[in-house]
Structure 1
Amino acid sequence: MKKSKNFFPGNLKFLRERRSLTQQGLAEALGLSRSKVNALESGQTKAPSPEDFLGVSGFFGISIDSLIRVDLSKLGELKLRDLEAGNDVYIRGGNLRVLAISVDKGNNENVEYVPIKAKAGYMSGYNDPEFIASLPKFSLPNLPKQGTYRIFPTVGDSMLPIPDGSDIVTQYVEDWTSLKPNTPCIVILSGQQDFVFKLVTVQAEGQVLLRSLNPVFEPYRIAAGDVLEIWKFQAYTSKEIPEPETDLQQLVRAVREMQQEIKGRKV
Structure 2
Amino acid sequence: MKEQKIFFGSNLKFLRERRKMSQEELAKILNVTRAKLGALETGHTKSPQPEDYIEISNFFKISIDSLLKVDIGKLGELKLRELEAGNDIYVKGGNIRVLAISVDNSNTEHTEYVPVKAKAGYTGGGYSDPEYIADLPKYKLPHIPAQGTFRIFPISGDSMLPIPDGSDITGQFVEDWSSIKPDTPAIVILKAQDFVFKLVTFQQDGHILLQSLNSSYAPYMVEAEEVLEMWKFYAYTSRDMPDAATDLSTIIREIRELKSTLGK
- Provide the residue aligned with 2:129 in structure 1: 128
1:209-220 correspondence to structure 2 within 5 Å: 209-220=209-220
The CA RMSD over aligned residues, in Å, is 3.1
Question: Can you give the 5+ residue segments of structure 2 that lack an aligned partner in the other structure?
Answer: 1-46, 70-85, 255-264
Tell me if structure 1 keeps the 8 A contact 2:66–2:98.
no
Tell me if structure 1 keeps the 8 A contact 2:93–2:226.
no
Q: Which amino acid aligns with 2:239?
A: K
Q: 1:51 to 1:159 in 2, by over 3 A?
A: closer
Q: Distance in 2 between matches of 1:51 and 1:168?
A: 29
Q: 1:44 to 1:179 in 2, by over 3 A?
A: same
Q: Which amino acid aligns with 1:113?
A: Y
Q: Alpha-carbon deviation of 1:241? A: 2.7
- Provide the residue aligned with 1:185 in structure 2: 186
> In the comparison of the two structures, how many residue pairs are matched?
182
- Provide the residue aligned with 1:261 in structure 2: none
User: What do residues 114-140 of structure 1 show as CA deviations (whole Å, max 9, x unaligned)?
Assistant: 111111111121111111111110001
- Provide the residue aligned with 1:113 in structure 2: 113
- Provide the residue aligned with 1:49 in structure 2: 64
Q: 1:37 to 1:167 in 2, by over 3 A?
A: closer
Q: Secondary structure at the match of 2:122?
A: helix
Q: 1:203 to 1:35 in 2, by over 3 A?
A: same
Q: Which amino acid aligns with 1:208?
A: I
Q: Alpha-carbon deviation of 1:202? A: 0.5
Tell me if structure 1 keeps the 8 A contact 2:114–2:152.
yes
Is the counterpart of residue 150 in structure 1 residue 151 in structure 2? yes
Q: Alpha-carbon deviation of 1:95? A: 2.8
- Provide the residue aligned with 1:138 in structure 2: 139
Q: State the 4+ residue runs in structure 1 displaced beyond 3 angstroms.
A: 31-40, 43-48, 51-54, 90-94, 242-246
Identity of aligned residues (%): 57
Q: 1:144 to 1:32 in 2, by over 3 A?
A: same
- Provide the residue aligned with 2:162 in structure 1: 161
Q: Alpha-carbon deviation of 1:204? A: 1.3
Q: Alpha-carbon deviation of 1:53? A: 9.9
Q: Alpha-carbon deviation of 1:46? A: 4.7
